[in-house]
Amino acid sequence: NAGVTQTPKFQVLKTGQSMTLQCAQDMNHNSMYWYRQDPGMGLRLIYYSASEGTTDKGEVPNGYNVSRLNKREFSLRLESAAPSQTSVYFCASRIGTGSWETQYFGPGTRLLVL
Amino acid sequence: QKEVEQNSGPLSVPEGAIASLNCTYSDRGSQSFFWYRQYSGKSPELIMSIYSNGDKEDGRFTAQLNKASQYVSLLIRDSQPSDSATYLCAVTNDYKLSFGAGTTVTVRA
């Protein structure tokens, strides 16, 4: 039981390049999330998927697209990377509701855009 | 106004003391409230959740919620060096979780 896994762990891109960040969870959770974390900004929600087949925008969706491939996998794509997208990206999955809710986070992907 | 605001810190406390962390939120419809701990270079992990007004205790941690004042707090009693981390306040409404910027706590031995 690996929990939430993310690939790659580190990536350096040049401005204008594209890439896809992969996320998978083996806990059979319905909801999955993509966040970015910048110094002094906390975690900001990019996109989320409440269930397989649905995706919705979060707080900072511009420049990103997502795919909920199946219940396990939720990918984040940068079509044309910009230096402002340099950040640490976390994927998470969620179980429960209300005070029983828990989000489990992956180890993160550190992205540098030059 | 940010949805979730935390005292910016950093907060330095001696070992064995109480660390007090504060958080306010703007959306009165928020339903559930969480504290996550994040060690440097690691991912966040849930340490406390609270849903109803009042106090909730779990070991050395106590979360306090006051919905009328839109205020959540976390007390860490008998602080240990292993408690040195950034603490993130989070608030949920339906499927979305909004985070504060975090408060960094350093426990001095």
Q: Tell me if chain A has a CB within 8 Å of the CB of B58.
A: no
Residue A98 has pLDDT above 80, yes or no: no
pLDDT of residue B96: 81
CB contact under 8 A, B42 and A107: yes
Q: Which residues of A touch B32 (CB under 8 A)?
A: 98-99, 101
CB contact under 8 A, A103 and B95: no
pLDDT digits (tens, 9 = 90+) for B17-58: 999 999 999 988 888 899 999 999 999 999 999 999 999 999
Closest CA to A19 of A11, A9, A27: A11
- Cα–Cα distances in angstroms (integers) from residue B53 to residues B31, B37, B49, B73, B99, in the given order: 11, 22, 12, 11, 20
| From B31, B42, B45, residue closest to A98, measured CB to CB | B31
pLDDT digits (tens, 9 = 90+) for A41-97: 889 999 999 999 899 999 999 999 999 989 999 999 999 999 999 999 999 999 887
Q: What whole-number distance in Å separates Cα of residue B41 and Cα of residue A108?
A: 9
Grade residue B1 by pLDDT with cuts at 50, 70 and 90.
Answer: low
| From A48, A56, A98, residue closest to B32, measured CB to CB | A98
CB contact under 8 A, B43 and A105: yes
Q: Which residues of B touch A105 (CB under 8 A)?
A: 43-45
